[in-house]
Chains A and B, each alone.
Chain A
Amino acid sequence: MTTNILLAGFGGQGILFAGKQLAKTAMYSDLQVSWLPSYGPEMRGGAANCSVIISDEEIGSPLVVTPDLLIAMNLPSYDKFAPNVVPGGTIIYDSTLVSTDRVRDDVKACPIPATGIASENGLDGMANVIILGYLLKITGLFEYDKFLEYMIASIPPTKAALIEKNTKALSLGYNFA
C-alpha cells in the first residue's frame, strides 16, 4: 500500500514542517518514506509544496505528480493541484483561505476552516497542525496518540512552551466535525 501525499500552500504556513511530521511518524512506524520539498526562488514568501510518499514497499520516484491525498492551504495551491488528484482521492483544504466552487465530484473534498480555528483559539500560525489533526481523523493514516508522541518529541527542549499549543491544535483538528 502506497500513499502519495502532496502538501501545498504559502511559504511560512508550515507546509514543510507538516510533511516532515508525517514522514517522521512513517519512519518510526517502520514504513518506507520519502519527503521532497520544492526548493527554489519561490520559497522566499511565495508558494511552497512538498511531496511525501509513505509505503510498505521500496519507493520509486519521490516526486508526487498525481496525489492520493492533497493538502491545500491556499487558493493558488488548490487551483493548481486539485485537478491532479487521482479519482477517488482526498483533498483536505483550509476553507478560511480557499473559497471555491470548483469542486470535483470524483474525489472526497474535506474543507476545514483551519486558519479561522487557529485565530479563534490563540493559535495563530498553527493551521498546519490543525490540518494534520483533521487528516488523522479523515484518513486514519496513523494513530492519533502515536503521531502526537512523535510530534512532541521533535520539539526542542528550549521551545517546551510549544508542546501545549501543538497538542491543542492537533486535538482541535482531530475533533473538528
Chain B
Amino acid sequence: MSKKVLMKGNEAIAEAAIKSGCLHFFGYPITPQTEISEYMAKRMPKVGGLCLQAESEISAINMIMGAAASGSRCLTSSSSPGISLKSEGISYIVGCDLPCVIVNVQRGGPGLGSIQPSQQDYYQATKANGHGDEHVIVLAPNSVQEMAQLTSEAFDLADIYRMPAMILADGSLGQMMEPVDFELGSKREIPEKTWATNGTYGKRKKNIINSLYMDPNELEKSVLARFERYAEVTDKEVKYEEYKCDDADIVIVAYGITSRIAKTAISAARAKGIKVGLLRPITLWPYPKKPLRALADTAKHFLVVEMNMGQMVDDVKVATECKKPVSFFGRTGGVIPAPAEILAEIEKIAGGLN
C-alpha cells in the first residue's frame, strides 16, 4: 500500500496545518468547510493544541490576532459570508504585521447565497480583505494534494513575511476526496519570532503589537515598510502552472477547480486540432504577471474561465497589457461549468481566429 491517504480537501487542510505545527484553531461552523473544525476538534487535543469554536467569525479572527501575537502558528477557516465577517480583524492583523493562515472554502453569493462551490470572492481575496492599504498572500489549490501542500506553504510564507496567507478554495475542493501525501509539505527556514509578545522573562525590552498610530507620518512609514515587503513577495513568491502553452493560439486562464475543468476541455479541443493551453495562477496575490505578459507575445487570444462573473478578467488584461483580446466564460452562484460548455467557448473563439 502507498503512503497516500484518501481524504477530503477540508480534512487535508486541517491535517497539513497540524503537521506544520499549527497549535491553535479558532473557527465557527459553516458549510462547505465544517469538516476543518470537526477534524481539528478531534485531533488538536491529541497533539497538545487547542481547537475552539468561537461564538462568531468575528470572535474567531480576533482570537487569531491574539494567538498570532504570542508567536503561535494559528489557523482560522470559514466560507464566503463568514470571511466577510472576518474582514475587520484581517485588516487589524495586517496592521499589526502578524502571520496567520486563513482558509476560505468559497460558496455561492452574494448574501447567504448557496452552499455550492463558487469563486465569487476573488476580488475580496486579492484586492480588499479588509480596509486600508493591505494585502494577504492568496494561494489557490486545485486538488486535495495541493490543499495540503499549499496550507503547509502558507504557514511558512506567513511567518517569513509576517503577514496573513489565505487558502482560497471552493466547496468542491473542500468536499472531494483524493489521495494525498503529506510528506510533500513546505520545509523552509523560518526566522525567529523576536517580535512576539510571549513574555520578556526580564531579559529584553517589551514587545508591543499595535495597529493604531496617533501620528499619520508614523503610520505612513509603517505602510511604506510593509509595501517593501509586498514588493519582495511579488518578486520571489509567484507560483503558477503552464499547461500546453508552447504552441497555444488560445490560452485559458483559470485557477482552482475551474483549471481542472478547463484541462478536460483542452484535451477535447486538442483532439479536434485546436491549439489551446492553460495558464493557472497558483498564487492569486502576488499575481503571475510576467508569464502572462510573455504569453501575450505568442498566443492570439486569452479566455478567462471562472465560477463568477469575470472578476479576474482585469488582472489578465493588465498583465497582458491588452496586447491580445481577453474574453470570459463563467458560471456563478454555485453552478460548476461543464467541460463541454468551455469547449464550446473555445470552438467559438477558434472559429473567429481563422
Q: How many A-B residue pairs have CB under 8 A?
A: 65
A20 touching B177 by the CB < 8 A rule?
yes
Interface string of B162-179 (1 = CB under 8 A from A): 000000000110011111
Given contact pairs A28-B1, A39-B171, A62 touches B260 in the complex (Cβ within 8 A)? yes
Identify B116's interface contact among A27, A34, A40, A62, CB under 8 A. Answer: A40
Complex contact B6–A20 (CB within 8 A): yes
What would 8 more interface pairs be, CB under 8 Å, given A36-B177, A61-B339, A62-B172? Answer: A33-B179, A35-B177, A59-B260, A60-B261, A61-B260, A61-B261, A62-B178, A65-B340
A36 touches B176 (CB 8 A): yes
Bound CA span A51–B4, Å: 20
- A37, A39, A62 — most chain B CB neighbours (10 Å): A62
Q: Does B264 contact A (CB under 8 A)?
A: yes
Asked whether any CB of chain B lies closer than 8 Å to the CB of A168, the reply is no
Alpha-carbon distance A23/B32, docked complex (angstroms): 21
Interface residues of B in 161-216 (CB under 8 A from A): 171-172, 175-179
A58 to B114, CA, bound (A): 30
Given A33-B178, A36-B175, residue A27 in contact with residue B2 (CB < 8 A) = yes
- Residues of B contacting A63 in the complex (Cβ-Cβ under 8 angstroms): 172, 261, 336, 338
Collect the chain A residues with CB atoms within 8 Å of residue B4's CB: 27
Which A residues from 8 to 54 make CB contacts under 8 A with B?
A: 20, 23-24, 27-28, 30, 32-37, 39-41
Range, interface on chain A: 20 to 34
Say yes or no: A60 contacts B2, CB within 8 Å. no
Contacts of B260 in A (CB 8 A): 59-62
Check if B116 sits within 8 Å of A35, measured CB to CB.
no
B62: which A residues are within 8 A, CB to CB?
A: none
25 pairs, A vs B, C-beta closer than 8 Å: A24-B6, A27-B4, A27-B6, A28-B1, A34-B177, A34-B178, A35-B6, A35-B176, A35-B177, A35-B178, A36-B172, A39-B31, A39-B175, A40-B115, A60-B267, A60-B339, A61-B260, A61-B261, A62-B172, A62-B176, A62-B178, A62-B257, A63-B261, A63-B336, A65-B340
Number of interface residues of B (CB under 8 A): 27
Interface hits, B237-266 → A, CB 8 Å: 257, 260-265
Which of B32, B171, B172, B179 has the largest count of A CB atoms less than 10 A from its CB?
B179
Interface residues of A (CB under 8 A from B): 20, 23-24, 27-28, 30, 32-37, 39-41, 58-63, 65
Nearest chain B CB to A21 CB, angstrom units? 10
Residues of B near any A CB (own CB < 8 A): 1-2, 4, 6, 31-32, 115-116, 171-172, 175-179, 257, 260-265, 267, 336, 338-340
Q: Give chain B nearest CB distance to A53 CB in angstroms.
A: 10
Chain A residue nearest in CB terms to B259: A60
What are the residues of chain B within 8 A of A34 when measuring CB–CB? Answer: 176-178
Instruction: Indicate if the CB atoms of B264 and A60 lie closer than 8 Å.
Output: yes
Determine how close the nearest CB of chain A comes to the CB of B310; give it in whole angstroms.
Answer: 20
- Chain A residues with Cβ under 8 A from B171's Cβ? 39
- Which of chain B's residues have a CB closer than 8 A to the CB of A58? 263
Which A residues are CB-close (under 8 A) to B116?
Answer: 40
